Homo-oligomer: A and B are copies of this chain.
Amino acid sequence: MAKADKINFTTPSGFPEFLPGEKRLEVYLLDTIRGVFESYGFTPIETPAVERLEVLQAKGNQGDNIIYGIDPILPPNRQAEKDKAGESGSEARALKFDQTVPLAAYIARNLNNLTFPFARYQMDPVFRGERAKDGRFRQFRQCDIDVIARRELSLLYDAQMPAIISEIFTAIKIGDFVIRINNRKILTGFFQSVGVAEDKIRSCVNIIDNLEKIGETKVKQELDKIGISAEQTQQIIDFIKIDGTVEQILNELKNLTEKMPEAEQFKLGVTELATVISGVRNLGVSENNFCIDLSIARGLNYYTGTVYETTLIGHEALGSICSGGRYEELVGMFLGEKMPGVGISIGLTRLISRLLKAGILDVLPSTPAQVMVVNMQNELMPTYLQVSQQLRQAGINVITSFDQRSLGKQFQLAEKQGISLCVIIGTEEAKTNKAALKDLRNREQIEVTQEELAAQIQKRLS
C-alpha cells in the first residue's frame, strides 16, 4: 500500500502517550484511587472536556493559564454548507483547564438533582498550554475529590482527607510519606496579630508558600519588598518554623492564643486545626503519616481554612504529591451562593511520569493476559479454544496462540509480554483431557487434568 507521504505522525508537543505497560500502570493507579474514594462515599462525575469560554474565564478563573479554544473544521467536501453545520455562530468554546471551574458549573447546572453534602470525584483529563520545557503536559489527568455543602460543612470532612490520602499512598506502595496539615486562618490570623495590613496578607501567604522553593533569605527579601518590617518578618519566620510533634505544636499554638486574646481569626484557626487533627486520629491515620506544618500556605487564593500538602520522604524534590484545602467562595460562583467545600487533588499524569523516572514505580507487563495457551498443532485448536474459555470463566486472562510456530518462539512471545504461565496440550494430553502447565519463570512444568488447570494457575498467580 502507498505510504501517506511526508506526514509528521508524532504526537503534538506536550501531548504524550503511554506504552501499554505504562497505561496499565495508570489504569491500576486509577482503580486503586477510585476504590479508596468510593469507600468514603465519593461518587464519580465527568464534565465535558469542552465548556463555554465565558464559563472558563468567569471571575478571572483562567488565571495565568493558556487554554485551548476549539473551532470546527469542515471536511473538504462540506465547505459549502458552513452555515448549515450548526456550528457557526455558536459561542466561543474551549477545553477545560482544571476540574474546579467545571465542578462549579456542574453544581449550578444540576443543583436540584444533587444531594448535599455532595461528595464527588473526577479523574478525566484537563488541558493547559503548559510549556513543555517545565516537564509539564498539555493534557493530563487530575484525580480530584471535593465535598460541597450548601450551608455548613463539618470539619470532619477536612479530617477525612488525610485518611484518604494516607490509604491511597499506602496502597500504591511508593514508600514513606507525610501529609503536612495547616490552617490558613492560623497564618492570616498571625499576620494580622503582628500588624500586617489587611491588603498585604494575601501577598504574605503567597510568599510564605514559596519558602521551600526559594529559601528563607529570598522570602525575607520578598516580604521586605512588599513593606513588611524586619521585625514582623522575623516574627513570621519564627512562627512558621515552629517545629515538634503534633502535640507540641498544638500546645504552642494554644499558648499563643492565650497571649493574643484579640486574635479571633488565629484562635478560630487553632480550634479548627485541633478538631481536624482529632478527627484524623480517630480515623486511625498513622502518626508517621501526618504532621502540622505552619509553613504550608498553598498559593491558591481561594483556600480559607485547612490546607494540605503531601511529601514523599527522600524525594522532597518531587514537591507535593497531593494537595488541597477548604474554601468558601469557589464552587458557588455561578449561583452567587456561599458553598463551603474541602477537596484534594492528585496530579496523576505528572506523578506517574516522575515516579517512573525516579524509579519509585515500575511499569506493568504489557498485557493483562496471565496465561498463554500455546499452539502445538492446528488440529487441536478446538481443544485450545475450549480450554481458553474454561480458564476465562474462572477469571483468568488468556491469550490463545493461533499461529503455528515453534514452542520456543511461542514461549518467547509470552515472556516478552510478561506472561509467565503457558498451557501445553499435545495429542497425548488432548486424548486424556490433560495439560502441561509450564512456569516460564523457573522453567518448571507439571502435568494436570484440564479440570484442575484453572485452580493450579490461580495458585501460581496469587
Contact = CB atoms under 8 A, between A and B. Distances in A.
Tell me how many chains of this kind the complex includes: 2
A125 B49 CA distance: 9
A397 B337 contact: no
A66 B62 contact: no
Interface stretch (A214-222, A223-231, A254-262, A277-285): A277-285
A3 B334 contact: yes
B2 A336 contact: yes
A389 B40 CA distance: 9
Contact of A45 (B20, B49, B50): B20
Interface string A128-139: 010111000011
B417 A115 contact: yes
A44 B367 CA distance: 8
Contacts of A50: 12, 15, 68, 127, 138-139
B66 A75 contact: yes
A16 B48 contact: yes
Q: Which of A12, A366, A395, A397 gathers most chain B CB within 10 Å?
A: A12
Nearest to A414: B115
A192 interface: no
Nearest to A63: B75
Interface string A360-396: 0000001111000000000001100110110010011
Nearest to A20: B43
Contacts of A44: 20, 23-24, 27, 368
Query: What 9 pairs between A and B have smallest CB-CB spacing?
Result: A3-B336, A41-B369, A15-B48, A154-B402, A41-B399, A38-B368, A282-B385, A68-B70, A20-B43
Contacts of A382: 282
Contact of A71 (B3, B41, B48, B71): B71
Given A9-B108, A43-B24, A156-B400, A75 B68 contact: no
Contact of A69 (B42, B73, B154, B413): B73
Contacts of A368: 38, 41-44
A202 B406 CA distance: 41
Interface stretch (A52-60, A244-252, A265-273): A52-60
